[in-house]
């Protein structure tokens, strides 16, 4: 079978998603690390958007992490990382879309914005998103299990987790912590963090604090 090559960057949470999917599926792959601040000549011939992740599978390329992960699900169907039932598969795609269009946006705005009012608005939005995940996802879909859809890891778990591995940056530079009362969310985060795939490529709190240190200079407006 043709080997996968993934173009990645260790600091990129989107690339993190697809590396986790490859590991969960035990797909053999070559890793090419890209310095996003000093991209190699000709990189746009591989990645039309100039971003990571991108995978090459034979003569074909796929980019955008959510699309890459669905491609991997179809190209390497076992173990499955999406529910089989149509309604649950639809729910999985809804929550992946929620991550891409709402959760990540609020997270990034809070961390990166130099404007105090934008930080405050993003903090409110992010808290609301976390509460929504607790009540509408984990409380309704997880049952007695630790993961988004119960006892089995899914692409949804892998979609969100990279931002939670980086949460120390929000705590350190924005004073933003996950509320204690979101017990299902804390349980989920702990369970995913112990996955063999996650531990295999995990980085330390200190690693992320160093990588995001430039945001320490931005005034903190979150209480």
Q: Domain 86-215: which topology?
A: Glutathione S-transferase Yfyf (Class Pi); Chain A, domain 2 (1.20.1050)
**Domain locations in the chain?**
4-75, 86-215
12 classed as catalytic: yes
Q: Which of 160, 8, 157 is nearest to 99 (CA)?
A: 160
Going residue by residue through the chain, which has 223 residues, state the pLDDT in tens, using 9 for 90 and above: 679 999 999 999 999 999 999 999 999 999 999 999 899 999 999 999 999 999 999 999 999 999 999 999 999 999 999 999 999 999 999 999 999 999 999 999 999 999 999 999 999 999 999 999 999 999 999 999 999 999 999 999 999 999 999 999 999 999 999 999 999 999 999 999 999 999 999 999 999 999 999 887 766 555 5
Give Dmax (Cα) for the chain: 53
In total, the chain counts a number of residues equal to 223
Q: Which of 9, 11, 12, 54 is catalytic?
A: 12
- Nearest-angstrom CA–CA distance, 202 and 58: 28
Strand order in the sheet with 54-57: 29-33, 4-8, 54-57, 60-63
User: Do 4-75 and 86-215 agree at the fold level?
Assistant: no
The superfamily in CATH containing domain 4-75 is Glutaredoxin (3.40.30.10)
Q: Which of 110, 201, 131 is nearest to 162 (CA)?
A: 201
Q: Which of 65, 43, 71, 37 is nearest to 53 (CA)?
A: 65
């Amino acid at each position: 079978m043709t080997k996968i090559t993934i173009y990645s960057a260790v600091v990129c949470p989107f690339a993190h998603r697809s590396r986790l999917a490859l590991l969960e599926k035990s797909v053999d792959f070559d890793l090419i690390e890209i310095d996003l601040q000093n991209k190699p000549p000709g990189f746009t011939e591989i990645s039309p958007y100039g971003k990571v992740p991108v995978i090459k599978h034979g003569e074909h390329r796929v980019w955008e992490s959510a699309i890459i992960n669905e491609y991997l699900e179809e190209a390497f169907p076992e173990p499955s990382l999406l529910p089989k039932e149509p309604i649950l598969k639809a729910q999985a795609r809804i929550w992946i879309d929620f991550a891409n269009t709402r959760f990540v946006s609020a997270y990034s705005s809070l961390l990166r914005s130099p404007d105090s009012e934008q930080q405050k608005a993003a903090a409110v939005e992010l808290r609301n998103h976390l509460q929504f995940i607790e009540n509408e996802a984990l409380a309704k879909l997880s049952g007695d299990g630790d993961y988004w859809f119960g006892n089995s890891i899914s692409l949804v778990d892998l979609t969100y987790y990279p931002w939670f591995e980086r949460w120390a940056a929000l705590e350190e530079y924005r004073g933003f912590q996950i509320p204690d009362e979101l017990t299902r969310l804390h349980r989920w985060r702990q369970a995913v963090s112990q996955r063999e795939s996650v531990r295999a490529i995990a980085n330390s709190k200190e690693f992320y604090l160093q990588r995001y240190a430039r945001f320490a200079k931005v005034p903190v407006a979150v209480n």
